[in-house]
Structure 1
Amino acid sequence: MISTLPAWEQSRRGLHVRFSLFASLVAISSLLNAPVTSLTIQQDVNALRALQAAWGGKPSTWDFSTDPCDTLWLGVGCDDTHTRVTQLLLINQDLTGTLPSSIGDLTNLTNLDLSSNAKLGGSLPTEISNLKNLQRLFIQFCNLSGQIPTVIGNLTSLSYLGLTQNSLSGTLPDTIGFLSNLFWLDVSSNQLTGALPDSTTSPSGSGLDNLTNARHFHLENNSFSGTIPTSIFNTQMQLIHLLLHNNMLTGNIPTAVGNLIHMEIMHFDSNALNGSVPSGFSSIQNLTTLHLDNNQLGGQLPDLSNATNLQMLYLGSNNFTSAPIPSWISNLKKLFLLSMDSANLFGNISADIFSSSSNISNVTFASNSLNGTVDLSSANSRLRLVNLSNNDLAGFVNSPTTVQIILDGNPYCDNNQGQCDSLRAATPTLINASACSGSCADNYLINPKLSTTCQCSRPVVGNVDFLATKLPILEDYNLTLMEEEFASGLSQSAFMNITFLDFQVVVNTFTATHATVSIFPPNNTATWSPSDAALISYAIKNQEITYPGIGPMVCAFIGTPYDAVIIVSGLTTGAKVGIAIGVVVFVVAVVVLGLYAIRQRKRADKAEEANKPFAAWIATGEGGDANIPQLKGARWFSLEEIRKCTNNFSQSNEIGEGGYGKVYKGYLASGEKVAIKRAGTDSLQGAAEFKNEIELLSRVHHRNLVGLIGFCFEEGEQMLVYEFMPNGTLRESLSGTTGIQMNWERRLSLAMSSARGIAYLHTEANPPIIHRDIKSSNILLDDKLVAKVADFGLSKVAPTDDGVAPLSTQVKGTLGYLDPDYFMTNRLTEKSDVYSFGVVLLELMTGRLPIQGGKYVVREMRVALAQEGMAQGVKSMVDPELKEYPLEALEKLVELALACVEDSPESRPTMAEVIKEIESLSEVTSAKPEFQGNNEYSQEDKLAYMQQNLGSPFDYSGSYTAFYGNVQPK
């Protein structure tokens, strides 16, 4: 209602209200501040304030009208006097920006963990050297760049240093050797170069060999070069894990390797090491895992007969002198994985290797010159896999138990190909099945171990990379052991006060060293409390928890952050309640005052703002007009326009909600219907990031991409205005919620149109773009049921020059669609999108979610084909709602999907090749297609079917005649 009071009276009353509010605020502030000003010292408060400013206002729950040490502040822990900050634990809190120099002002810090914050970049500030009391420093799965500062050597109290999965470059500073208390050193999966620091050659006289108390050197997946320092292998070292794989190391393995008597796991694989294998390996009695494969090692095969505790041995792909399989292998009774591919072996295979007295489970002798007959008649019951492909074997005697045996490329298979195919198909039994079906909201899952309830609940979910697994492969038959040890480790953690039961832990594996671990809340509970969720995250990745049957690991947490607090307050409950009430009153008063001020300012500035649509942008940075987005076709909308076309964001206009925020339908002044994505508070980006996103979106224009019409960036709002897609998502259509008939041709058409959209991004966009989040819920259907790819919030510009290395970036994506190679290496290529699209193809054919009832659709399809053969396997997996289909075409589409989800990116097709293959499927079906069930159709039936179920045949790019013969529509 418009006020009828004269202007002077409105002004007087407004002044009176403001004065009353001000007086109330003063009183509240005095009440709140009086008991807390003498607690946390101002130096620590100022440091936290600077951190929040550098991190884009996060954590947003930090309230500087309260005291950090005696109120519930996210991730802040203090000493017993409640005056100094000693812990800063902000795991997976979506921090943005960099780690500022003010971190050095928290001089009493003992524990700093900022892991799993993908947007946290920049370099490690030199001021970190001020943290003399720091014992644990974990900044993992972030986006740090630059060099590790030499002042890292000043942190002499440090016992854990974890910097894995960043983009750090340069050399590993020799001052690392000054960290005499270091127990855990992990700088793996970065871009570090140069020689490993050695005290005998470094300027400081310090190096890795000075870290005599260290138990873990995790240096893998970098570009370290030169020789392995001999000085590391001295009798004073306490190392149990030495991981050097996937580097560029050369020269010999030092002969003094036997001095590391405590060693359990050693990885030298995937380097360029040469010379012979030192005999010292055999004298390491604790050695359980040894990787020497993929090098240039020569001479005789090593004699490891005295390494009687060996469980996993990899010797393949070297230049050893041609020799028979060593006889001493039969003496290693604890050995359960033996890999000697391309090891220059010849002669017969002794049956003793597989005997009932051995523990062998997985054996691979592929690509050698072995001959004779393989006899598995007396094999032990633990044997699961034998790979003898590409040898000269002429005979075979099978095992009495089910074993997967690969004999391809041997003379035996020339006359027994059917049996060879059958042997290869044997697979272990899967577990974690669930009778539940359906889907849950974002971040919520159904625990497959509670199939009687089928309750959607929110687990703490982490992507786990096992650095040196003690298992041959993380296959399903090992999951029970892993789950038990995760539950036990969490229950015994000093950080937890909860007993975890086995059913609460669910592990799903994707590759030999990568799994996803979900920690579900107790039965009949939908979600963890915020504090418990935060403690679980910290406890899982805290390196004091060990999993003896699995091996060391790192964990990146996924999903939106819990609003978590890791604090024990020193105040009484009554004091907390009183302060909380005061804070609420304070906040309400500030909001009222703020709304009044905004209203007054709007009246004064309305005309000016209308003429300066980019004023908000110019204000966010320096450079004036240089900050204005360079757009191609997209327009700016004022907040007032957006409010009008959505009826002030009314609930009736809400059409969906996702991780980004809510989506509203609206009508522009022109009458055009649009979809408006409004960023939630937790999804707001920095101005530069939002600018980059809309500039990227405005450059891509293709009939199979959802078009960006415009954006709004005003008063703290970030909104994207898209063309409206009336038929929802592909996922919704497959689930049956839209009522759209998902017959064979429609599915093939949707696969084609979405593939074309992705291919455009890869090859025709300028510059090329990697989507990074291809999934069925990001493929939308327009009014003609044409598929369009949407949601470019995670997209990255791809390298354009030939020979440019793949992008090295923090892992982002959606569980179930995520490329395992991208997860393990952080290297993003177009083939990561191809993997995700392969999962979408499997969804189209099966109707299943990627992960449903504890089962991964990629593995399920592979298992079905291996156990039942192609035709029957496809039939058993096909969507029950797909009543009729050309079987041959469906089989070829399955083959294409499985090619897209190959573990190696090099083995996957490009999107252009995918499109070509889908196009060729239309030729598989003749004029009278033979559909599943051998149903025959007359020309009239075909036309009626098309008109009833598919609408106008001209909407489907000419595929009508390819599938239904030369029938002309009426």
Structure 2
Amino acid sequence: MAVLGGATAVVVVVWLQFFCFCSSLNHEGGLLLDAKTGLEDPSNELSNWDAGDATPCHWTGVACSGDTVTAVDLANLGLVGPFPAALCRLPNLAFLSLSYNYINSSLSDSALAPCAALAHLDLSQNVLVGRLPDALAALPSLAYLDLSGNNFSGEIPLSFGLFPRIRALSLVANLLTGGIPAFLGNLTALRQLNLSYNPFSAGRIPPALGDLASLEVLWLAGCGLEGEIPPSLGRLSNLTDLDLSSNALSGGIPATFANLSSVVQIELYHNSLSGPIPLGFGNLRSLVRFDASMNRLDGPLPDDIFDGPRLESAHVYSNRLTGRIPSGIARSTSLVEARLFDNRLNGSLPPDLGERSPLMLLDLSDNSLSGEIPASICHRGVLEQLLLMDNMFSGSLPDGLSRCRTLTRVRLRNNRLSGELPAGFWGLPHLWLLELRGNSFSGRISPLIAQGANLSNILIDDNQFAGSIPSEMVSLSKLYEFSAANNMLSGSLPASLADLRELGKLDLHHNLISGELPRGIQWSKLSELNLADNAFTGGIPPEFGELAVLNYLDLSGNLLTGEIPIQLQNLKLNEFNFSNNHLSGPLPPLFALEADRNSFLGNPGLCKASSGLCPVSYGRRYSHSFIWLLRGIFISASLIFVIGIAWFSWRYHKYTKENLAFDKSKWSLTSFHKLGFSEYEILNCLDEDNVIGSGGSGKVYKVILSNGEIAAVKKLWGSSKKDLENVNQPIDDGFEAEVATLGKIRHKNIVKLWCCCSHRDCKLLVYEYMPNGSLGDLLHSSKGGMLDWPMRYKIVLDAAEGLAYLHHDCMPPIVHRDVKSNNILLDGEYGAKVADFGVAKVMEMMEKEPKSMSRVAGSCGYIAPEYAYTLRVNETSDIYSFGVVILELVTGKPPIDPEFGEKDLVKWVSSTVSQKGIEYVIDPNLDSCHREGISKVLSIGLLCTSSLPINRPSMRKVVKMLQEVNAKNKPKIRKNGSKSSHCYLKDPIEFGSNA
């Protein structure tokens, strides 16, 4: 018995040790491991979640109170998988955040129901789909719910009006439809309501939202709202942030807004509001930012709107405001930014403007303001940007600006300013943009300009500056553009300017500059040189031929002598002019063209022929007989070459027909429209003479059918497995994708697929023929200049409507995945149609087959940044690519170009606009009278290419914004009072300052 008892004791001990080992992790740790099991963790962020621990309280993202788990924060860890329902079984879990991951699938009521203690739930920035679950509103403790940045769809459920304790509700940037429901006004404890950027049906703001007495933040931007703003919102006395921007709201701003005593920010921009700003706005003592831009408000600003002691910035621009700028603006003690540009404001500025306010930015451009610039404008010494373009300001520049060392941008173009500039103004240390064009400034350019180390653009054309250009400008190592045309500058061009390595544009035409042209130049980045109408003497330096990127050269109207250096043939000039000088000798051979005749007129010493040009004479180098011998050899070689090509072409055509026509009975045809031809007629026309394009998946043929119709036939061919491996995508995949997508689509801006034919490895897709080819080929060829702005606007609107149809009207939605200018085809009237659906995916299919997203589809320069890194694809990827197409149309440049350096088109446009202004990115082939409309479309393109997908508008919204930039209504009035016969604008949407 003793032995038996001892044995029993040993067994018990072993069993207890085993039990302790298996139970070393408590029950809550086991639940966390269950949750981890259902998630992929590619970055191994949860590597310290270990079953051997006694408690999970020190695991990544886990927080405890005592020994029980109360919070799980797994935000931004790259986790992939469905919502981990096991977390809801943690009995005391009050805080759960899975934001910025790849949580997918849908949220079920059963998965959420156990979360009884949950007070904070953040599932934002994931890829959740389906309808909003009713179970969320049944959680008794839930106070904070953030589901923004997902793909939830359907209407906001009725249960969302029954949250017992909710204080913050955010559904921003989903796919919610229906309207904003009035029952949200029942959530009396709500402090934050964020519903922005959802494709809600057009509807009004529910007046019941005015019952949310505790509300502090109300964001309803981009919600399809229309009608008037309900006055009941004025009852929200605790409101600090009101955003109703980017809707279609009309009527006036309610006078009750004057009761928003706590409001810090009001954003009403991009609506259709009218009427004056309520006078009571002057009582909003806490107002920091007021943005009512992109409306059509009329009437002057109330005189007391800027009296609030905490006012830091006022954005009330682009509203066609009239009247004087209120004197109350000068009484604000906290005004930092004032943007009132592009309105109809008149009168003079308050004389004490800037005296009390720490002004950092003042933009009053494009108004009818007059009088002098206030002397106190930089009294507090922090002004960074002074933008007063296109007004009627007069008088001299205040002397105080010469001591305003914080200035970075000064733009005073097209005013009536005069007098000499304060000497110190030229040398402000942080100033990089100085634009004084179109005034009557006089005096000299001060040598103190050497202290302006950051000067990049000096634009002083059309003034009365005199004297010589100071040699001290050699210190301006960052100088990119120096434009001083139409002044009275004299003396010689300082030799030191030749050392400015960053110089890209030098325009000094119509001055009194003399002496010789500079030599030893280091202008490797110079693209434009205009020294016309001066008094330069001597010869043209041969080193001008080494300016690799120079495309504009004008040396006309000088006293230059000698021959035109043959080295200038190395330049790739789009435009040049040497006329009205004293040049002599023969022309370089590449310049001896009839088309260039006008570039050499007024040079009596240049040798002449009957055409007035100077052909190169080869008679001095070769004998007459030797020349005829060379001609004979050339003619013989050409004849042999032509015969060889003809024989090869005949053999190839015969081989192609024999191979395509084999066993025609086995070809299968699937039609999607009523056809007037057979597959045999298509096969008989696939000759190499009919090839109009080719790509990675095959060739495209132009086929003229017997019934007079023209078709475009894409042939996808793979005769062997090796052939298939050499293309980007298997033939069958691309063929099936395109057939499945285009076969069921009927839209005027989607290319029409008539039928498809297949036989073994050969697949044929037969489309309607688009006679003007692709947008990319036309835009980036020598024919790009024929695309004027109205035509480009029509193309971009057509393409946007096609993509909007795919995203919003197809059920389920379709993502193109390869939007680019080469996949936008143009019909005979330059109507645009989206084409090439070889890599398109149905959203529903991508959710069921995630493996199909195992590689990046798309073209370099068009791929959205988040797609390239994460392979997560949805409609926002197409929107980014379409934004790149918009930038192509505006700039005329391809998405990738050596000119950009390491940047792509998006980054180049963004940085150039930020540093130099919009005019530096607009295609010079476009008429400047369309500048306003072009600027608005450019802004839409930049919005579409936002680095954050949440900031990109839906394609439906893009179409709406483009339609509002209507380029075909009333003629634009030029400054001289005449009307352009070809420039039309319809009060285009304003997206910001033209500065």
Ranked by relative contact order (alpha carbons within 8 Å, sequence separation 6 or more), the top structure is: 1
With normalisation by structure 1, the TM-score equals 0.45
From the CA coordinates, give the structure whose radius of gyration is larger: 2
